[in-house]
Structure 1
Amino acid sequence: MHVLVCEDDELIASGIKAGLTAQGMTVEHVASAAAARAMLRAAEFDVMVLDLGLPDEDGLKLLAQLRQKGLELPVLILTARDSVTDRVDGLQAGADDYLLKPFDLRELFARLQTLLRRVAGRSVNLIEHGVLSYDPSSRVTLLGGQPVDLSRREQALLQALLHNRGRVLSSEQLKDSVYGFSDELESNALNVHIHHLRRKLGNGIVETVRGLGYRLGPAGNEDSGS
């Protein structure tokens, strides 16, 4: 999951980034509305965490403008504004959820997972694809009922494919989801992780669409490739 965190408090932002990264998410942090707009133009994200008290512009104004421009990205407002009016204004401006500071990182993570479930049309965390199942909350992968040990990058790659079932993702889109902007990558890094995922979950788990990118392979009885 590729998360954009727009928060001007560096201490809060660093805690969010560390906590969500530890849960297998790829996190980008910006501290202003202008930087958020630039980041949204530069990369694709699965969800956005938005503070309202930004130094250059009120977060509600930013959110309303992004929605007017057609942004469909799920947005969770994270703020100390705790009145009913504030919460109503946030939801009416286009927020999908509203969480008050101070907060528990476990609740933030759970709420982000809920937003992704809603977007994907799922009612439970468990994602099933043929004999493959993946739980993004526990980060447990099962193939034919047997656990498969995946690295954090392999989990991020698998989740990106599962979350975009039926959709072709370009190499750049997958790199955004798996690595983020801050990582220095070898030119073949994505291919290496795709190779490892195929080796562990079967060659058919990732389909190459020549000239376009990659997509999740059809559900079936995956050959583990071992």
Structure 2
Amino acid sequence: MPLLIIGNKNYSSWSLRPWLLLRHFGIAFDEHLLPLDTAAFHEQIGRWSPSRRVPALHDDGLVLWDSLAICEYANERWLAGRGWPAALPARAQARAAAAEMHSGFAALRGQLPMNCRRQPDAYRWDAAADADIARVQQLWAWLREAHGDGGDFLCGGFGIVDAMFAPVAMRFIGYGVAMDDNAARYVDALCALPAMREWRAAAEAESARVVDTDAFVQA
């Protein structure tokens, strides 16, 4: 049985991505949660992940330690390519969008860290984060228009590109980000996924706190 090493479901955006993909497509796996920002994490993570970060996937002696690499592996190992769109243009541009998410949006990540339990308040971010938010919504609209085929997700059916953006949906909800109609419908579709509902319920049930992330609150 594959084993996925993850961080707290409330906070670990990188863990959410491959977890959501695997769960949505019904791939059986075990999970092992290491609580972030704890002595236990620092003591144990080296056993599981060569990068000392989560997530990490262990499968039949193979170890993978990057969210997008794990998704790509799952696509080849279990999904027979269903993780990406079937049409070449859509597949290529879905990969470009996933790569942009993987490597970009530093202001959005830094100023609006994922916290699934968070409720909107008076906290606000700067112009760099606003530019990232605008680019995300532009990208979502463009992909859905070009490749959505009337489906709920960016390129029709749920796939890797959607898993990569799922933590952004959690950020938009938790910080009360203003969304255009297209973005709001897309976030609603992500939140309606049974796997996403499962993740969010588990996040709500967690009692652990990461102080630095919970500090992003302004009364």
- Taking structure 2 as the reference length, the TM-score comes to 0.30
Task: Identify which of structures 1 and 2 has the higher relative contact order when contacts are C-alpha pairs closer than 8 Å and 6+ apart.
Answer: 2
More helix by share: 2
Structure with larger Rg: 1
Greater strand fraction, Structure 1 or Structure 2: 1
